Structures are given as structure tokens and as C-alpha cells.
Structure 1
Amino acid sequence: MVRSVSGIHLLRALVLLGLLLAFLDPRLSLPGRVVYLLDFSPSARESVFALAENLPRGASYVAFAERAAPIASPTARRLDLGEGTDLRAAFQEALKLRPSRVVLVSDGLLDPVPPPFPLDALYVPPRPYVDLRLVPPLYPLLGETVAVGVVLEAPRPTEALLRVEGPAGPLEKRLLVEGRRVLTYTFPLVESAEVRAVAEGPWGRSEAGVRLNPADRARALVLGDPALARYLEAQGFAVEESLQLPPSLEQLDLVAVGVGVLDLPQGAPEALRDYLRQGGGLLFTATPKGLFFGGWDRALPEDLPLKPLGRKGAALVLVLDVSGSMEGEKLAMAVTGALELVRSAAPEDYLGVVLFSSAPRILFPPRPMTEQGKREAESLLLSLRAGGGTVLGGAFQEALRLLQEVPVERKAILVLSDGIIFDPPEPILTLAETSGVEVSTLALGADADASFLEELARRGGGRFYQAATAGELPRLFLREGQEIFQGEGLEGRFPAEALPHPLTQGFAFPSLRVLLPARAEPWAEVLLQSEERVVLALGERGEGRVAALATDLSRSWRDWEEAAPFLGGLARYLAGTRQALALHAYPQGEEVRVVVLGRLEAPLALAGGKEIPLLPTGPLSHEVFLREEGVLLDGKRRLPLALPLPGEWSPRDGEAVLRALAEGSGGRLLSLGELPERASAPLSLRPYLLALALLLFLLERLLEARAHGATTPRPLGG
């Protein structure tokens, strides 16, 4: 009985001792395996080969580049493992050998991958070399001046002689490549083209080539400027010439306007304004019917980068019929037309309104059409009411009297009526003929006294207009305002001076033969000027770009050989926000930041089998970070992304890469004298101690059960 109890206590003590030892996890040292991973990629293999004789013979070896394979000894050489570096493949091959210790021998020019085991590393320097790549433009257009990126990379400073050949002729440079250097080779893409580059130096020779095929042609609508149309066609634009706006401008990259606002259908200014604000490109040229003479400075005052300079003011008095027959739509449309006159006037112009019905009434005398003057005129016009008869004489005399006090040379009267004039006609006709003031008339509807109004315009030296319906009035008012409030053009020889801008760089501009004196708006950028007069200015409105050229191309630049390239570059710049996408790639560490400029719907980058959305970063701007080349998806478009991704020879601090890789895994960066040949494989005794403790526990429980049975008393018999 005593022996059983003492045995139980002993077993219980042994169980506790086994558990304590298992918690402390003692280990038994056994012989292990050292695996060396040898970098046989192009940048490191020569240094590794030179080191081979100094590597331990008793270890196991795996050679790797794009692929990995075991080798019998460190002096074995494999050149069939590819031209890149895949560290993951090396790790997988090493795991098959069940290593106790792993040493990576490399130049560190690789994508670091977290190792699945503690890793030591030995740094070897990369060999001198210059890698050469050509990066083509993303979406080259026919006629566009394109830039091919020439990317040179060297892990160590190396001298190189670079020669690039292509449509722009040979480019030759001797340079020191230290890290990454990028040059551009530019030329106009008028057909499919090939660019080849060669770099030579102490390492030997590197070559690269790329072929460019035009992806598309920019689409331009040219309204009334045949000279511009020919220049754009010579630059590869798909040009449509017309005097009408299509129902939709959405498919156009550029609209060039060389006609007047009244030469286009009603609503054209609003359509062009919307097109510009939504990202379209607009170019206004000074043909005899375009720009200022065409009234665009008045029709689009907020969107034209040029305004007339030094224009002489004119004065116009509108003599408006407000008799009872004008009530309703007629008066409403007459007021709308008068408002067009107000808007079309410049600050140096004077406008007044005299009303006539049964008696004359001055709505407002001729006043300068400043912003304040326009607001007051609009308010008074919107307050008009109709009623009474149709007596013109008194109102006509008031208009002449008011004009006598206006300090401008050109003075005019515009008479509008829809009925029979009650006055004797001859006194009014005689007054118009002798006043020295230009008199125009407008007959509204079938009941108007057209014969009298036509004779009044003839005697007054003006123009006669006939409007069948009230809806025609606004455009007729605008036409008359354009006749009265017009500017002047100059002819002669005007020297053209280019201001610093990428679009003017490299061009020698000839003198101009025709010039509309102009100034630039504060929001516009001046590209060309002639003394104090601006010739060409451009700017951004909404999401689009607009430019205005104050000279007639058919006369000024007819004999200038570089006119087509300059105008083509200007047109492509204006169209840039709608047509081709512009790609900018910025290497950032192991990734490339891709910035895409252009009109995109729901852009995605397809790379590495994944769809990565592009994030909007501003108007017409999207960004994405990529680690490999892929495809840009946008609607039906699939555009290849050729990116300057880090390659085999991308400059890195290889020693720092290896140190971070080793220390992050629990290893360290070794020197040549610290390379191990053998390793110990510590065997953990914890599972064995736990098993022994369990066995002793079960034995203790068995002894305790037996001891309990022996001490139980027997029941008494009968």
C-alpha cells in the first residue's frame, strides 16, 4: 500500500517535470544542409562566376535567373535560365532541398520577394552595362509630331555612344549613363515609321527598335476658310469643309470658323459654346467674313481670346413701333432683337431707343454700351408695352436730334414697323435724304408699309429688311448691328514676333499682309504679336481650348513653307482634350505612375490578369500605378501600354536591397569570409517530452486506480 502511494507521487512529479521541459523547448543539434542561391541573371552572372572558386564545396547550389535549377557545384555554369530575374522561382527550388540555412549570392538588381525561410545574403557588384529601350507614344495620329522615348539604364556609371535613326535623320550623342537617362526623338508621323537605336561602349553593343503605325486621324470641320483646310489636310487631318454646322459636333476634334455668325444657322453660337465647354477645340480665323467682321467678338464675348483694338465707335438709334398691332409675339420678338443689338455693341458704341405709336417717347437716349449701360438698356427694353396708333414723324425727328449730340463719326437709325404709317411720307423721306445719317428700315409682316420703308432706306442710304414672321427679327437686328458696329482691317507689312511657347519654338514667322488690330483677353495666352497688336492668342474655356488668329491665312502666309506644320501643331493642341489620349509615365520605385489625359468614359488598365480602374485626378485626367505592361481599356478602345518599367539593368542600390531582404527575414548580409559550408539543424525535443509526459500521466492514473481498489472493504456475509 505504501509502495503504491510513493510510486504514484513519483510518476506525478515526472509528469510535471516533462511538461516543464517541453515548455522550455530544449533542442538537439544535428547536421543540416546549406543551400546557396546563385544569381545567374545577365547583370550578376559574371561576378558570380568569378566568385565561384571561393564558395564552399560541401553545400548545395541552385542557379537562377528567370528560371531556377540545381547545379552540382559552384563552378558549374548555366546560360539557359533566361535573361530576367525571378527570385520566387529560386526560393521554390531551394525549399525542395529542405535547407537548414540559405545564402543568396546576387547583385541585388531584382524585385525583392519575402523569403519563406531565414535568408543570408552576399552582395556582388553588377557588371558595367547600358540597357537600351525605345518607348513609343501611346496613340499616335497621322500628321502628329510624335516623340519616341529613348531610355538608357546602367547599374554603374558607364560611358556610351548613342545613335538613333528614324524619319527625322540620325541623332548621335556621347554621354555618361548614371542611373536612368531618358531622351526624346521627335518627328512628324506622316506614314508608318521605324526608329532604331544603338548604344556602344566598354560592355559591347545594345540595340532597340520600334515601329509606329498611325492609330487614327484627327477630324476637323472647317467653316469658310479653304486655305486653313488645305494646311490641315497636309498635316494629316480628316477635313470636312462646309458652311453649315452638323446636327452634332460630338465626333469632331476641331471646329475652325472663318465665316460670320450670321452666315451660320440660328443657334450656332450656342452650339459652338457648348462644344467648347465640353472639351472641343475651336479656332477662329480672320477671313473677310470671319472673326471681328463676322461678329464673333459680339456673339461669343466670353469665349473669344481676342477683342478688337482701337475700334472707332458708332451710334445707332432704334426707332421702334409699339402701336397696338405690335402687341404679343411681335413686340416680344422685337425686344429680343433689340437685346441682340445691345449685346453686340462694344463699350465705345452708342445705342438709343425711341418709341412711336400715337406719340413719340424716348425710352433711353444714345449711351455708351458699357456693362452698366447694357444692364440699364436691357431693363428698359423688357418693360415695353404696346398700344396706340402708328405715327412715325415725331419719333424720327427725335432720333436725329439725339444723334447730333453723340461724339462719333458713324451714325445710323433703324426703323421697325408692322403697319401703315399715318404720317405724310414725303417730309420724312426728305429729312432722311438730307440728314447725313444712315437710315435702315425693317418691315415686319404682310401688313407693313413695305413700299414706304424700302424708299426710306433708299433715301437714307441704308438697308431694307423684310421679315415675314416675328421670329426672323433677332437675326435681322443682329445683322444690322454687325453692319453698324464693325471694325477695320489693315493692309501692308506687319512684322510678326513669336513669344516663348512650345507651339512657336523653332519657327521663323514672316511679316503679315493683313491684320485686324486686336488685344488679348486677360485669361488668354499670347503666342504671336505685331508691335502692340496681338496676332494669335489661345486659352481654355470649360474643358476645351480656343484660339483666334487675327490675320487672313490665304493672304498672309500663302508663301510661307512652314505654315502647315505650325498650324497643324496649333490645331492638334486645340483638339488635344477630345481626340488622342496623351500618356505620361513616371517611374516610382518598383512601379510606374501612368497619367492619361483625354476624354475617357470608364477607363481600366488590364495588367497581370487583373482589371485596375484608373482614378480621376482632375478634368480629363486619370492615373493608375502599374508593375507591368498591359492594355488600357476604354469603351471599345484597347490601347497597349508600353511603359518604362524597371528591367534587369534598372539602377538600384543592390547592396541595400539585399540587406533589407536578409534582415527582414531574420538573416544578415555576409562578407566573403563569413560564408558557411555546414549548418546545424536543431531538433526540437518538445513533442517527445509531451508524449513522455502523457505516457507517465496515464501510468500514474492506472496505479492510483489499483491502489483505490485494494483499500475498499468487502461487504459482510450472511
Structure 2
Amino acid sequence: MLWALRGAVLLFLLLAFLDPRWPAPARVVYLLDFSPSAREGVFAVAGSLPRDGIYVAFAERAVRLPAPTARRLDLGEGTDLRAAFREAEALGAQRVVLVSDGLLEPVPPPFPLDAVHVPPSPQVAVRLVPPPYPLYGETVGVGVVLEAPVPAEARLRVEGPGGILERSLRVEGRRSLVYAFSLTGEARVRARVEGEWGVREAEVRLAPADRGRALVLGDPALARYLEAQGFQVEEGPFRLPLEADLVAVGLGVADLPEGAVEALRAYLHRGGGLLFTATPKGLFFGGWDRFLAEDLPLKPLNRRGAALVLVLDVSGSMAEERRLEMAVQGALSLVRSASEDDYLGVVLFSSEARWLFPPRPMTPQGRREAESLLLSLRPGGGTILGPAYREAVLALQDLPVERKEILVLSDGIIYDPPEPILELARTSGMRTSTLALGAGADQAFLETLARAGGGTYYFAPVPQDLPRLFLQEGERLFAGEEVEGAFPLEARPHPLTEGFLPPPARVLLPARAEPWAEVLLWSGERAVLAVGERGEGRVAALATDLSRSWGEWEAAAGFLGGLARYLMGSRRALALYAYPEAGGVQVAVLGDLEAPVALAGGRETPLVPVAPGRFEARLPGEGVLLDRGRRVPLALPPAGEWAPVDGRAVLRALAEGSGGRLLTPEELGGPVAAPLGLRPYLLALALALFLLERLLEARASRPRGAV
């Protein structure tokens, strides 16, 4: 008997390893594809579906149906299988039956799925593929792409600047042709394809690439000049991603959202064009010489340093709502906005005063030490300001700079007598600004202190406002200075300056050029306009205010237009487009390339120069562009709703991958089961027999008569 039990245990373990399934009734949800390509086929089989099933119709969105024969034509033109799966999960589906033509993006189902393939409707879709960078006056081609899931006859009509193109054709799979015309301005191309199924239309608008896209931030005069030169100008706001060919900046760092500096640096190094102008908020006034120090071609000349002592409240209440954390972030922005000629110190006050670090030059070493000390701060204690304020005044008195200021930040009531502090502010000669944090701050006293010290009063309702206000104060104090007068300009020989003679500048920010930059305009020893390359992009800085200096110069628009085209030239070097054509892919690349090669289908195809700065090639499929170490994808537009794919194979893969199968329409009316896994039961039975066998063996091994 023991041998029989052991054999049974081994048998059940073997069966558990094979994981057999037992058919069991299941909660089944039927997903009916009501997208335009599938709905007619689904309607045709709806009558054979069980009346008591749970039904969901889907296209771009999914809704539950009261019966399989109900029809919904308002679910959109696309096919979103994820939306259908989410609805099925919400209905508690144990198994799903998908009825579709398979012209959809395959998504792995989260449940067992059976599928039924219905033939797609015989329709032809049309799409227009424009070249993203057509040149003014060039003969351009708009790709007309026709797609049909099953062979179909169609009549095509294309209208645009090149006249009317009409064709009768048979579309099998994907077919394309090119509608060509000379681009001399904004153009509209419309395509219409019709047949027994109805009508499909598409439209595309083009503008010459010479009308570069310029994002202008804070310089209305420059925006008008660029518009006069045919640029597509957008005057803010700053938003990501930066998709313009040129970004012109006449605002300061504090005027732009958090992360703008990093975004502009990345945009430049990826091939974008940047232009900084000296508006009242731009260039050195905006802190760009400090926050974008390695990428700005101009720096202040003979700049006089400034000194600032931050008198910072570190009392216990600063631990609430991340107040001290945000104050530290603001102080770090002061550190970054100061140059090596500037002094910065921080004195702390709570129940007593103590220096975090006395005023020191913000050299690279000084910056690192200041940042480390600021990040070590911890709150605690009361709110006594007087001793700390006196320490700040004494520390500033002997510093070798002309501009000396104090910034006081507090979030609570100041407990020491106010009059001695106010008297010191009035008589010290130091400009004092104050910043009240939150509704609990001593706002009346801090505003009075700022007035007594001849400074600015700031109010931050929430701690998140602190970094911006700190940065605003730092920009004002540490910014460069402009000079007014009549400054004759001298142009250096360069293609950008040829034929231009700028008038004297009325306002100037004294500047010097970085060693890597090329100066185009001088005024004595001062650099006025400099350009350079950083990463794959180009950057320029203009040290004069256009509205005040060049408002009456008739040639200003032409000069600035040429400068803008030069700056965006490196970005245009990567301009390309691709469209399907006669079983392959036609590609065109525009720009300053050396020897571009396309890699597609495992082989390299040289691109042939067909015009100055234009290269073309015909490839067997999608690939990548190779030039001077760059790799740029050459990809076709994504397939549409009517893309010619094997829908039956798509559905079979979905079903078999989830443990289901591809059904025929005749099998739809039968019962659908959710196989019940028997492995846990077999393992439990094997364990029970094993324990029984061990018990019997133990009894058999006892000596006779033993208790």
C-alpha cells in the first residue's frame, strides 16, 4: 500500500507540473470594434452574438452597449484598444472576446482573450506629408500618401499652388505620389479621395523656411524688426519644449520660470540659436553673464563690485512649511548671481546672532564654501534681530566696494525694541531691504525698516516665492551699469556686416568679448556685438538697447534679419524630411553638411547634392542620417487607421499571447469558458497523500506491542 501511495504522490506532482486546465463558466465581456474600418464587419456578425453577454463598443473611447446589435457612430475615428481593456477590467471581466479587423495598435491584454477577425471596410485614406523645412522660391514636394487595408478603386484630386492634379487609381496597401510646386509664400494644399465608401479629405499649410520661427522674450523692438524680415515671431511666453529656430532674450533670469537657464543651455548645445539683447531687463541687467557664464560671448567691462549681507531668521518657526529650506534656495540663487568682484555674507538671528560666513568674494572657492554652509542650516530659538543687524552694518563698513546693501528676512514678530534698529538703518548709509515671509511675519515693522533704510520691502505669502524674490534682489544689486551718450560703432569685416554701417549707439553696456567669441561691432575698446558657437548651436550678445539706439536706422531690420538667420543656421543643418514613394522612402536633407550618408536596410546610401545645401536620396526603408558623427532618424509618419497590415495575424498574436485563440465568426454563439487551473489542487492532494504515506510508514515501523 505504501508503494501505491508513493506512486500516487509522484503522479499528482507530474500532473501539477503539466498544469492542466478545467473549463469553467466565466464572466465574459465582448469588445466590439466600432472604428470606421471595422464597424461594418462587426455589425454583420452582431446578430450571432449571445443576447445575455456583456458588450463594450470602442473606437477612440469605449462605452457599454445594452445589446450586441446596438450601434454607436460617435466614438471617434481612431482605435484605442487600451480604453477598451480598461472598460473590460472595470466590468470584472474574467475573459474577453475581441471582435475587430485587427487594424489597431496591439496592446498585451491583462486577461485571457479570444479574438474574432472581421474583414475591414474597403476604404482609402489620404494623408499629406509636408517637408518641414522648405526654402523660399524652391520647388517643394508634398507627399500624398494613400492607404487601403484591402484593394480599392479611388479617385484622387489634389489642389494647391501647383494647380489641380486628378487621378483614378487602384490602391493596394500603401501608395504615394508627390505634388510639386514652387513655394513663394504661404501655401495650402488640399487632397480629396473618393470611392464607393464615401469621401476622405486632408489639408496641409506650408510657409517658407526662410520665415524662421523666432521666440522673442522681452524685446518688442527686435520682434518688429524680425517680422519685417519675414520671420514668424512669437512674443512669449517661455514654455517647453523650445521648438523655435531662434530664441531672443531681452528678459532677466528672474523673469523666466524655474529651469529656463538649463533649458536654454540645452537648446543651444543641441543646435539652437540664441540672441541676448541689452534691454533694461536683459543681458547683464538680467544676470545672464553669471547664470550662463560659459555660453555668453560678452562679459561686463570694468565692472564695479557690490556687497550684500543677508540677515536671515533661523528661529524655530522657520522649520514650518519648508520655510528655511526655501530661504536657503533663495540664498543659493544670490550666491549664483554674484560675480567674483561681489561680496556676500550671511548672518543668522534667532535668540542670538551668529555669522554663518562673513562677507567674502564670490570666487569659485567662495561659492563652494557658501553653498556648503547654507545647506547645513537648522532652525531653532526666538526672533531677536538687533544684534545681527548691527553685525551686518559693521561688516560692510570697511569693504572696498561702493554699493553695499543689507537684506533682512523674517517670518515672525521681532521681539527687541524697534527704534534702535530703525535709527541704525537711517544713519548707517547702507541700503536695507526687507522680506516678510507669511502672514505671521512682523510686516509693519519690516516695511518701516525698508523705508528707513532706503530699500525695497518684499512680501512672500508662501515659502515657494522666496527663491524668485531673492533672485530679483540679487539681479538688481549685482547687475552691470549702462552708459548713455553717442558711441560710434566700427564694424569688423564679416559677411554679416558687409554693406551695413550702424549709426552711433545712444546707450551701451560696457563689455568685453570672451576668447572663443568673434566680435562684429566695436566702440573703442568695448565690444558691442559678439557671436560664437557653443556645442552644435550659435549664440550672440548685443550690448545696446535696440529701441533707444537703432530706432531711426533704416537698415536695422536687414542687419538683424541676417544675424538671426546666421544664428539659426546650425539648427537648419539638421533639417530633413522623409515620405513614402513607390515601395521605398524619399528623403531630403537641407543644410551645411559635409558628406551625408543614409543607413537603411543594412546598407549605406550617399545623399546626392541637388542644390546648394540640399541633399536627396531614395532608400529601401526607414533609417538614420550619418554626418560628422551625428545620427538623425529618418522616420516616416506613423501609420494611420487604414494602414495596410495583416489584421488577422495581429489578432492571432494577441489571443495566443494571452492563452486564448482566434475564433471563427461561427464560434461566437457558443459558450465561453475561463479555464480553471488545477495545479494548486493537485499539489494539495499530493501533499495530503505524502503525509498519509509518512503516517502509515511510521506506524508500520513500530515494534509490536509498543504503546
Contact in 2 for aligned 1:337/1:477 (Cα 8 Å): yes
The residue aligned with 2:211 is 217
Contact in 2 for aligned 1:604/1:611 (Cα 8 Å): no
Gaps of 5+ in 2: 1-131, 139-182, 187-206, 576-589, 597-604, 639-707
CA–CA distance in structure 1, aligned partners of residues 341 and 395 of structure 2: 17
Structure 1 counterpart of 2:520, which letter? L
The residue aligned with 2:618 is 606
The residue aligned with 2:394 is 401
CA–CA distance in structure 2, aligned partners of residues 288 and 234 of structure 1: 23
Contact in 1 for aligned 2:607/2:616 (Cα 8 Å): no
The residue aligned with 1:301 is 293
CA–CA distance in structure 2, aligned partners of residues 615 and 545 of structure 1: 22
Alignment of 1:273-672 (within 5 A): 273-327=265-319, 329-579=322-572, 580=575, 581-582=590-591, 594=608, 605-606=617-618, 615-618=625-628, 635=636
The residue aligned with 2:224 is 230
Q: Would the alpha carbon gap of residues 509 and 594 (structure 1) be closer, same or farther in structure 2, given more than 3 Å must change? A: farther
- For 1:561, what is the secondary structure of its paired residue? coil
Task: Quote how far apart the aligned CAs of 1:321 are.
Answer: 0.8
Deviations 1:103-151 (A, max 9, x none): xxxxxxxxxxxxxxxxxxxxxxxxxxxxxxxxxxx9664499xxxxxxx
CA–CA distance in structure 2, aligned partners of residues 387 and 586 of structure 1: 66
Task: Quote how far apart the aligned CAs of 1:450 are.
Answer: 0.8
CA–CA distance in structure 1, aligned partners of residues 613 and 299 of structure 2: 30
CA–CA distance in structure 2, aligned partners of residues 593 and 275 of structure 1: 27
Contact in 1 for aligned 2:625/2:634 (Cα 8 Å): no
Contact in 1 for aligned 2:623/2:634 (Cα 8 Å): no
Q: Would the alpha carbon gap of residues 344 and 143 (structure 1) be closer, same or farther in structure 2, given more than 3 Å must change? A: farther
Deviations 1:428-471 (A, max 9, x none): 11111111100000111111111111110011000111111111
Contact in 2 for aligned 1:585/1:592 (Cα 8 Å): no
- For 1:428, what is the secondary structure of its paired residue? helix
Q: Would the alpha carbon gap of residues 235 and 391 (structure 1) be closer, same or farther in structure 2, given more than 3 Å must change? A: same
Task: Quote how far apart the aligned CAs of 1:191 are.
Answer: 6.2
Gaps of 5+ in 1: 1-137, 145-188, 193-212, 623-631, 638-718
Q: Would the alpha carbon gap of residues 524 and 596 (structure 1) be closer, same or farther in structure 2, given more than 3 Å must change? A: farther
CA–CA distance in structure 1, aligned partners of residues 542 and 343 of structure 2: 28
CA–CA distance in structure 1, aligned partners of residues 626 and 611 of structure 2: 10
Contact in 1 for aligned 2:435/2:458 (Cα 8 Å): yes
The counterpart of 2:239, out of the listed 220, 242, 246, is 246
The counterpart of 2:260, out of the listed 265, 268, 272, is 268
CA–CA distance in structure 2, aligned partners of residues 596 and 515 of structure 1: 46
Q: Would the alpha carbon gap of residues 531 and 604 (structure 1) be closer, same or farther in structure 2, given more than 3 Å must change? A: same
**Which deviates more from structure 2 when the two are superposed, residues 222-231 or residues 351-360?**
222-231
Structure 2 counterpart of 1:235, which letter? Q
Contact in 2 for aligned 1:418/1:447 (Cα 8 Å): yes
Deviations 1:13-67 (A, max 9, x none): xxxxxxxxxxxxxxxxxxxxxxxxxxxxxxxxxxxxxxxxxxxxxxxxxxxxxxx
**Which deviates more from structure 2 when the two are superposed, residues 423-432 or residues 258-267?**
258-267
- For 2:284, what is the secondary structure of its paired residue? coil
- For 1:578, what is the secondary structure of its paired residue? helix
Alignment of 1:110-121 (within 5 A): none
Deviations 1:314-358 (A, max 9, x none): 111000111111126111111111111011001111111111111
Q: Count how many residue pairs are aligned between Structure 1 and Structure 2.
A: 420
The residue aligned with 1:120 is none
- Could you state the TM-score of these two structures normalised by the residue count of structure 2? 0.55
- For 1:327, what is the secondary structure of its paired residue? helix
Structure 1 counterpart of 2:591, which letter? A
Task: Quote how far apart the aligned CAs of 1:585 are.
Answer: 7.9
RMSD over aligned CA atoms reads: 3.4
Task: Quote how far apart the aligned CAs of 1:300 are.
Answer: 2.1
Structure 2 counterpart of 1:554, which letter? S
CA–CA distance in structure 2, aligned partners of residues 259 and 555 of structure 1: 16
CA–CA distance in structure 1, aligned partners of residues 611 and 366 of structure 2: 43
Contact in 1 for aligned 2:331/2:470 (Cα 8 Å): yes
CA–CA distance in structure 2, aligned partners of residues 612 and 330 of structure 1: 54
Task: Quote how far apart the aligned CAs of 1:296 are.
Answer: 2.0
- For 1:400, what is the secondary structure of its paired residue? helix
Structure 2 counterpart of 1:232, which letter? L
Task: Quote how far apart the aligned CAs of 1:363 are.
Answer: 1.4
CA–CA distance in structure 1, aligned partners of residues 636 and 534 of structure 2: 26
Q: Would the alpha carbon gap of residues 421 and 143 (structure 1) be closer, same or farther in structure 2, given more than 3 Å must change? A: farther
Task: Quote how far apart the aligned CAs of 1:260 are.
Answer: 2.1
Contact in 2 for aligned 1:342/1:377 (Cα 8 Å): yes
- For 1:302, what is the secondary structure of its paired residue? coil
CA–CA distance in structure 2, aligned partners of residues 597 and 269 of structure 1: 38
Deviations 1:408-433 (A, max 9, x none): 11111000111111101111111111
CA–CA distance in structure 1, aligned partners of residues 137 and 443 of structure 2: 56
Contact in 1 for aligned 2:251/2:279 (Cα 8 Å): yes
Contact in 2 for aligned 1:323/1:386 (Cα 8 Å): yes
Contact in 2 for aligned 1:583/1:595 (Cα 8 Å): no
CA–CA distance in structure 2, aligned partners of residues 279 and 303 of structure 1: 13
CA–CA distance in structure 2, aligned partners of residues 333 and 143 of structure 1: 55
Contact in 2 for aligned 1:605/1:633 (Cα 8 Å): no
Structure 1 counterpart of 2:617, which letter? A
Task: Quote how far apart the aligned CAs of 1:256 are.
Answer: 0.9
Task: Quote how far apart the aligned CAs of 1:234 are.
Answer: 1.6
Identity fraction in percent: 68
Contact in 2 for aligned 1:584/1:595 (Cα 8 Å): no
Q: Would the alpha carbon gap of residues 143 and 541 (structure 1) be closer, same or farther in structure 2, given more than 3 Å must change? A: farther
Contact in 2 for aligned 1:604/1:634 (Cα 8 Å): no
Contact in 2 for aligned 1:577/1:598 (Cα 8 Å): no
Task: Quote how far apart the aligned CAs of 1:597 are.
Answer: 13
Structure 2 counterpart of 1:226, which letter? P
Q: Would the alpha carbon gap of residues 620 and 566 (structure 1) be closer, same or farther in structure 2, given more than 3 Å must change? A: farther
Structure 2 counterpart of 1:306, which letter? L
Structure 1 counterpart of 2:627, which letter? T
Alignment of 1:46-195 (within 5 A): 141-142=135-136
Contact in 2 for aligned 1:342/1:378 (Cα 8 Å): yes
CA–CA distance in structure 1, aligned partners of residues 613 and 451 of structure 2: 54
CA–CA distance in structure 2, aligned partners of residues 294 and 478 of structure 1: 10
- For 1:577, what is the secondary structure of its paired residue? helix
Q: Would the alpha carbon gap of residues 458 and 582 (structure 1) be closer, same or farther in structure 2, given more than 3 Å must change? A: same
Q: Would the alpha carbon gap of residues 633 and 379 (structure 1) be closer, same or farther in structure 2, given more than 3 Å must change? A: closer
Task: Quote how far apart the aligned CAs of 1:394 are.
Answer: 0.5
- For 2:466, what is the secondary structure of its paired residue? helix
Q: Would the alpha carbon gap of residues 260 and 330 (structure 1) be closer, same or farther in structure 2, given more than 3 Å must change? A: same
Structure 2 counterpart of 1:440, which letter? S
Contact in 1 for aligned 2:622/2:634 (Cα 8 Å): no
Task: Quote how far apart the aligned CAs of 1:373 are.
Answer: 1.3
Contact in 2 for aligned 1:605/1:612 (Cα 8 Å): no
Structure 1 counterpart of 2:457, which letter? F
